A and B are shown apart, each in its own frame.
Chain A
Amino acid sequence: MSTVETATEIRPFHIEIPEEQMDDLRRRIAATRLPTKELVEDRSQGVQLATIRELARYWATDYDWRKVEAKLNALPQFTTEIDGVEIHFIHVRSTYENALPLIMTHGWPGSVIELLETVGPLTDPTAHGGEAEDAFDLVLPSVPGYGFSAEPTELGWWAGRVAQAWPELMRRLGYTRYVAQGGDVGAAITDAMGRLAPEGLIGVHTNLFVPALGGTMPTDTEQERAAAEQIAVFRATGFGYFLEMATRPQTIGYALLDSPLALAAWMLDHDTDSYYKISRAFVDGQPSGNLTRDHILDNVTLYWLTGTGASAARSYWESGQATAKSAGQAPPPMNLPFGFTTFPGEIWKTPRSWVEKAYPNVIYFNEVDEGGHFAAWEEPELFSAEIQAAFKSLRNGSS
């Protein structure tokens, strides 16, 4: 009996990184041995040396982890064991009584850091120019293997298993009617949750169109052809990191755990839009929205301090294994109310027609004019407004 209690116990969590770890990080950055400069003037050979040099300089001299540590510790954080893995999460209840519970999941190379600036607008909308009736009770978990969640030591933790853990987390928090949201890996988890349709989940919103990764989409209209072309370019030239992590996470893990700059470069080399935005933030001092040098380094430093480069990469391996096992089988349908927002800088610009084809119950679709792959991170106000708009109809029908 006491075992059961322990297993479902929710414990407060507080971050306190020892100063020696910060010193060690700075020492390693200072001792970094760099390769020669790339032979091109763009990102086509990878993260440019000038970007990495400036990032290293800023990281070692100006950057202050304690600021984000304080910011995280100002939020209510907890851990609880689910399915054998200790799950870390931020849980901010709105002051508004009728707030809608929302579980929002980060992606790779992200963490809860991506989502921090949405906490205010989503839980306390009136302080951000919104309406009290759009308030959310917000749950931001760290995916197993990422950040302050534990690293799974057994096999099987692909997106579909995380999608089973999140409903248990919401149940444990006492939420019987809630919605879910995610981008990137978080979109895969959220999409899988929607297909599982656990009791209590009443709607989902994503900002990465997951079905396009699993199969071919129609190319009948100009927008569809444009999106298909963007996906083809990504697969042809931007997919290297993805394939490496999906097949050999341990091999790349050695470098990611041992070299701070290897980790930073690996994390910066995501999509073209975000790479250039981040690069400009360092080299030209011109951040795009909330994607500032400090915020970028908050996230990289979190991966470094938690030593999660390999375990996060392994989540791609797990998803690769799951995909291989289910090859040829269509995923279960998603009948829950579904919302989607297309951000202009995303890897491909998902057209409404694709969303309607893949999700029969679309309650919201919008194309906005700012933000990219890390939409919540880059444009937290706009992103929060999208989430509020996406789920508005579900609140009206709730009473």
Chain B
Amino acid sequence: VSGTVETAVEIRPFHVDIPDEALDDLRRRIAATNWPEKETVADQSQGVPLDMIQKLARHWMIDYDWRKCEANLNALPHFITEIDGLDIHFIHVRSQHEDALPLIVNHGWPGSIIEQLKIIDRLTDPTAHGASAADAFHVVIPSMPGYGFSGKPLSPGWGPERMGQAWGELMKRLGYSRYVAQGGDWGAFVVDQMGLQAPEGLLAIHTNMPATVPADVDKASLAGEPPPSGLSTEERRAYEQLIRTYTQVEYARMMAARPQTLYGIADSPVGLAAWLLDHNDAEGQPATAVVSALDRASSDTGELTRDEVLDNITLYWLTNTGVSASRLYWEYKGGFFNAKGVGIPVAVTVFPGEQYQAPRSWAEQAYPNLIYFNKVDRGGHFAAWEEPELFSAELRAAFRSLRDERRSS
């Protein structure tokens, strides 16, 4: 037995412990921020407005407490294991219910594991949240390579394809022989790739940013051309949403072209915060759901709060992963929302604030083995973060049919 092999597959417990100096340095840098002048418009059309970021920076520097987030994180079981040459960080919470379905949930940009914290208990302990024990999940939440506490790749190649393979290996290593996968944003790209790879044990995927756009519509929308004829009203609306989205993704084009040039998101906390905030949703850029959270000091019902937004930004800052995370855009050369040909069972939830509202007609073509499709009435691009209760209910409903099959087999 070779010791090298054992070391490589070892799963080590992980604990978050940021030194005080790092937090002092962060506050010092925020205090020393050199600000630009105010934008010359009264709206958000030139980017994140000065008033918005200054208000957030003041709170970040004075009242925000990373240690609370750190304590929340450390209350969960964290691990690191090396896969394909890279340290992968993940949260792994097993349900008390023996028959729980193993689930791997993949975050996106500009997100992290912070996005998923509120769904963990709802999914692993459903009876505490008014749901049935039969709907319990064992939950695995990895940090993508280059993100959060995972290692930063030292060579090219870590796109969604390779991440998909790594997640298959991770689930295998955890001893899960039958499991499901979920993702939004980049996580949606990764679970689509997993669906294409169809590793042994993967029963189905759920996506909240489905890639359903037919080839002719995809081509027309990317070129900004008029839509192909014959679209239904719903498809036509989706087409218009795609056109709008493509005017709000210049940040993505920059990161796809020149991620290394963004030295400012490594050196300036406010530069990083603005860059991360300026992601759109269907209602605006920056995302309306995130902007409205900046005025929410707390929530009893799981709504997104200002401190959660800062938890995520601070995680990027403390791990210095702004640039390494943005390299994912450089790695990926494939299409955005085009149908990818996933043949395994797929479940889709369409949230109203997502980039586009995938019509059922497209979803059925894109995912011929569509086991679940639902349009919900609230939540957006950061669905798990914004609407953890609804999001969790969707996952339970989405995968229910697979459990029945499993029991009957």
Contacts and interface: CB of A to CB of B under 8 A. Distances in A.
Contact of A35 (B41, B154, B247, B263): B263
A78 interface: no
A255 B261 contact: no
Contacts of B268: 254-255, 258-259, 262
B322 interface: yes
Contacts of A253: 36, 47
A74 interface: no
B53 interface: yes
Nearest to A152: B40
Given A34-B266, A243-B250, A248-B250, A46 B324 contact: no
Interface in B311-345: 320, 322-324, 327, 330
A155 B40 contact: yes
Q: By CB atoms of chain A within 10 A, which of B257, B270, B324 has the most?
A: B257
B308 interface: no
A45 interface: yes
A251 B322 contact: no
B274 A255 contact: yes
Contacts of A251: 46-48, 251, 274-275, 277-278
Interface string B245-284: 0010011011111111111111110111111011000000
Contact of A244 (B156, B254, B320): B254
Q: By CB atoms of chain B within 10 A, which of A34, A244, A314 has the most?
A: A244
B33 interface: yes
In the complex, which range does the number of interface residues on chain B fall in?
35 or more
Main secondary structure of the interface of A (DSSP, over half): helix
A247 to B, nearest CB: 5
Contact of B53 (A239, A247, A254): A254
Contact of A310 (B36, B49, B265, B266): B36
Contacts of B33: 258
B258 A45 contact: yes
B33 to A, nearest CB: 5
A136 B26 CA distance: 53
Interface in A157-202: none
A208 to B, nearest CB: 20
A4 interface: no
B264 A256 contact: yes
B262 A255 contact: yes
A36 interface: yes
B24 interface: no
14 contacts: A47-B260, A47-B261, A154-B40, A155-B41, A240-B250, A240-B255, A240-B261, A248-B48, A249-B47, A255-B270, A259-B263, A265-B264, A307-B37, A314-B46
Interface of A: 32-40, 45-49, 52, 151-155, 237-241, 243-244, 246-259, 261-266, 268-269, 307, 309-311, 314, 317
